[in-house]
Chains A and B, each alone.
Chain A
Amino acid sequence: MKEKESADPALELKHISKSFPGVKALDDVSFSVEQGKVHVLVGENGAGKSTIIKIINGIYSADEGEIYMFGELIGHATPKLMRGKGIATIHQELSPVKDLTIGENIFLGREPLKKSKFINWKKLYDDAQQLIDDFGFTYKAKTKMRELTVSDMQIIEIIKAVSMNAKVVIMDEPTSSITEGEVRTLFQQVNRLRDSGISIIYITHKMDEIMEIGDDASILRDGELISTHKVEDLTKDQIIAKMVGREMTDVYPKKTQVPGKVILEIKNLNKAGIFQDISLSLRTGEILGLAGLVGAGRTEVFRTVFGLDPYDSGEILYEGKSLTVKKTKDAISAGIMMVSEDRKGEGLVLCRSVEENIGLPNLSRYIRLHFLNKKEEKKESIEMKEALNIKTPTLETPSGSLSGGNQQKIVIAKWLLHHPKVLIMDEPTRGIDVGAKYEIYKIMCDLTKQGVGIIMISSDLPEIIGICDRAIIMSEGQIKGEVPRAEFSQEYIMSFAVGGK
């Protein structure tokens, strides 16, 4: 339409609407992704971001609206067609075949063949190596995928996308499971893609990333596109305000509770090759942050405290008394509970309903003469749903169909019903949008008022600084330092995590 010099946008959505039973997921959404630009999609959970991705990928078909690529109308979008047109998606949770090599993964499903129809291994590995080298990567194409870190796997996914001649690469929260340093490498690669004319749709919750990597930003809320802006015209506060539909003066709620007496004490806890000589203590009403890089052994320490893994030696003191934790039940009945970092793996039974998941550890309470009192169970889960503002069509909805933030709230809900005294939260806000994050911090602060001691393992330093009373920094399976709230600064905490080398 516009007689401008600039080329047609790489991807354009016009008036896209999509409904699901009971929910209007997208309502008249239009935006366009320019060639060679990074277009950021921001929005809370359930704002419709994943629906958009699925429509662009041809997994869902839109009820109304049109998709254009380079000015050409895409008729009936199917996953295959969209891939052919140059759409590639790097999902939040990667699914590489870990026991195949890098080369095999890059060419999975489109292996170069010889005339005899057998795989041309030499060409496969030569081409793969070429691609890896072009990206300035030092890996050999014959390395097993298993040996790579999560962020390197992501880079391999990007390489794969490029090798498939992708014109629009969709990245769904690519930094949610990688460390600060790895984010740098990722951004370099994103910039390379942009420079080579590829467009990127970048989905994130992190304000800093929007500012750093984005050219344009579209903000979604409740299935509607609120607005699209040049990133340089926006401030973080403006974005947050548009996302949540209200002014957010503070990302972190104020924690007022003063820590009380020691409730949990770990003494010289050891597990060969995983962590050594861990000693720390937690007070009632305290939020203790566990900072460090991914792989520092933080999760492993608390998995043993919670009874998921065994430990070699050491002692756990709980309310002044020695506590033996052989299985999770021991920890739970004492009052120690853990919100796992892996919601889908250890948090929820995805195929079962919200209500059943909330009830799972609490069933003993509803037993009357050996039978479940379902009324009581329902009553309590409704209370939890309302208290934590869990957004779900019904309590019978399978928990797997809810968004990440709401899933996390279900995990928290099931433990809150069990009245924890010590709550271990492992990356509690990973993959969760700003609005839901705030709600989760709020819940944490409210819990401390009831005297609950909280251990928060987090790789997000601003979060540790924002909400913790004290931070302990781990690296390579050891405690490297402890910083009280008064001395909090990103640089200071980070210096422990990377220092000493």
Chain B
Amino acid sequence: MKENTKKFNLANFYSKYGIFLLFVLMFLVMSITNKNFLSGVNITNISKQIVVITILACGEQLMIIAGLIDLSVGSVLALSGCIAASVVANTANAPVAIIIGLIVGLFCGAINGGILVVFEIPPFITTLATMMMARGAVFVFTDGVPISQLGKQFTWVGQGYIGPLPVPVLIMVVALAITWVILNQTRTGRYIYAVGGNQDAANASGVTIRSIKFFVCAFSGLMAGLAGVILMARMNSGQPIAGETYEMDAITAVIVGGTSMSGGIGNIPGTIIGSCIIGIIKNFMNLQNISSYWQKIVQGIIVCIAVIIDVRVRKSKS
């Protein structure tokens, strides 16, 4: 009997903190294996590297919790980033450029939401279509040529520091905080969970499904716009090819972080951990000089393992 209760507690512990434990374990192993890993500079580097994916993951998480998915974020990132870059290159007005970048992202998200809600097309198809359109649009807009000379004011967003803290990391923290607040402290957040968990029940409780879906699509677009501005600022260049397959990284971070693909379940701390796990793997392999071809393979394997562990633990719990 005693053994029994002990066993149960352990399983419960795993299910709550399993991914977190995995993260800590990986972190320790990496710190021991490579001396440079734990250095202050490197940790700062990691935090800077995960910024873009984590911000995308904020939007993606709301989408997935609501039972949707957004494949367009990588392309929307490129479109809004390049438009912002172009504005700043032509006007030298960074604040306006950033706001325009965000608006472009929001607009793309709204298009996703609009198509999804009005024509009731599955999100996978809708966002696949927007992904192609946005990518096409960015090439049309830039003629395939990167935009340079963005100016110090603009690049500060991606490269600057406030005290010891990198600006993009601070922006990421704010984005995470806003997403957390939406999910946990607002009516909209509750409705997002309800819509993803059981759309019919949410409808029967008076939740306007359409506006919730539209909201999460628009939010995801806005986050993609924000990520685009930061990425281009960091590179000091408006790159039309930027952000390809980033949607997959963002989805991976969300799923590794324990958000259910079937909707209704997930939280921000999980996504932070998911994003960190992917970040430290990439960083560690770079430090070890592992070729980027192998990195992809390893990344795939680790994602697979993380999810298998998660699923197993969930199963044993129920």
- The minimal Cβ–Cβ distance linking B184 to chain A, given in whole angstroms, is 8
- The minimal Cβ–Cβ distance linking A459 to chain B, given in whole angstroms, is 21
> Which of B186, B193, B201 has the most C-beta atoms of chain A within 10 angstroms of its own C-beta?
B201
Please, what's the 1-or-0 string for B184-205, where 1 marks a CB less than 8 Å from any CB in chain A?
0111001101100110111111
Please, what's the 1-or-0 string for A328-357, where 1 marks a CB less than 8 Å from any CB in chain B?
110011000010100001111111100010
> Which of B8, B197, B208 has the most C-beta atoms of chain A within 10 angstroms of its own C-beta?
B197
Question: B198, A371: Cβ atoms under 8 Å?
Answer: no
What residue of chain A has the Cβ atom nearest to residue B12's Cβ?
A21
Given contacts A352-B194, A360-B190, A363-B190, contact A345 B4 (CB under 8 A): no
Q: Is residue A308 within 8 Å, beta carbon to beta carbon, of the partner chain?
A: yes
Q: Is residue A364 within 8 Å, beta carbon to beta carbon, of the partner chain?
A: yes
- The minimal Cβ–Cβ distance linking A380 to chain B, given in whole angstroms, is 14
> Please, how many residues of chain B have a CB less than 8 angstroms from a CB on the other chain?
25
Question: B190, A359: Cβ atoms under 8 Å?
Answer: yes
Q: Which of A250-308 contact B (CB under 8 A)?
A: 306, 308
Question: A348, B203: Cβ atoms under 8 Å?
Answer: no
Which residues of the other chain, A, contact B186 by a CB distance below 8 angstroms? 370-372
CB-based A-B contact count at 8 angstroms: 78
Question: B204, A340: Cβ atoms under 8 Å?
Answer: yes
Question: B198, A348: Cβ atoms under 8 Å?
Answer: yes
Question: A345, B193: Cβ atoms under 8 Å?
Answer: no
> Which of B187, B193, B205 has the most C-beta atoms of chain A within 10 angstroms of its own C-beta?
B205
What residue of chain B has the Cβ atom nearest to residue A374's Cβ?
B185
> Please, how many residues of chain A have a CB less than 8 angstroms from a CB on the other chain?
32
Q: Is residue A84 within 8 Å, beta carbon to beta carbon, of the partner chain?
A: no
Question: B206, A361: Cβ atoms under 8 Å?
Answer: yes
Which residues of the other chain, B, contact A414 by a CB distance below 8 angstroms? 205
Question: A364, B8: Cβ atoms under 8 Å?
Answer: no
Given contacts A352-B193, A360-B194, contact A347 B204 (CB under 8 A): yes
Which residues of the other chain, B, contact A338 by a CB distance below 8 angstroms? 204
Which residues of the other chain, A, contact B200 by a CB distance below 8 angstroms? 345-346
Q: Is residue B207 within 8 Å, beta carbon to beta carbon, of the partner chain?
A: yes
A116 to B187, CA, bound (A): 59
Q: Is residue B264 within 8 Å, beta carbon to beta carbon, of the partner chain?
A: yes
- The minimal Cβ–Cβ distance linking A54 to chain B, given in whole angstroms, is 12
Question: A360, B197: Cβ atoms under 8 Å?
Answer: no
Question: A348, B201: Cβ atoms under 8 Å?
Answer: yes
Question: A360, B264: Cβ atoms under 8 Å?
Answer: no
Question: B201, A356: Cβ atoms under 8 Å?
Answer: no
A309 to B8, CA, bound (A): 46
Which residues of the other chain, A, contact B198 by a CB distance below 8 angstroms? 345-346, 348-351
A116 to B160, CA, bound (A): 70
Q: Is residue B265 within 8 Å, beta carbon to beta carbon, of the partner chain?
A: yes
Given contacts A349-B264, A352-B193, A352-B197, contact A329 B4 (CB under 8 A): no
Q: Is residue A327 within 8 Å, beta carbon to beta carbon, of the partner chain?
A: yes
Q: Which of B144-197 contact A (CB under 8 A)?
A: 181, 185-187, 190-191, 193-194, 197
Question: B202, A349: Cβ atoms under 8 Å?
Answer: yes
A136 to B29, CA, bound (A): 69
What residue of chain B has the Cβ atom nearest to residue A414's Cβ?
B205
Please, what's the 1-or-0 string for B1-23, where 1 marks a CB less than 8 Å from any CB in chain A?
00010001000100000000000
Which residues of the other chain, A, contact B207 by a CB distance below 8 angstroms? 360-361
What residue of chain B has the Cβ atom nearest to residue A308's Cβ?
B204
Which residues of the other chain, B, contact A328 by a CB distance below 8 angstroms? 203-206
Question: A351, B264: Cβ atoms under 8 Å?
Answer: yes
Q: Is residue A234 within 8 Å, beta carbon to beta carbon, of the partner chain?
A: no
Q: Is residue A367 within 8 Å, beta carbon to beta carbon, of the partner chain?
A: yes
Question: A347, B206: Cβ atoms under 8 Å?
Answer: no
Q: Which residues of A line the B interface, CB within 8 A? A: 19, 21, 63, 306, 308, 327-329, 332-333, 338, 340, 345-352, 356, 359-361, 363-364, 367, 370-372, 374, 414
Mind listing 11 A-B residue pairs with CB under 8 Å?
A328-B206, A329-B206, A346-B200, A350-B198, A351-B198, A352-B193, A352-B197, A356-B193, A359-B190, A371-B181, A372-B185
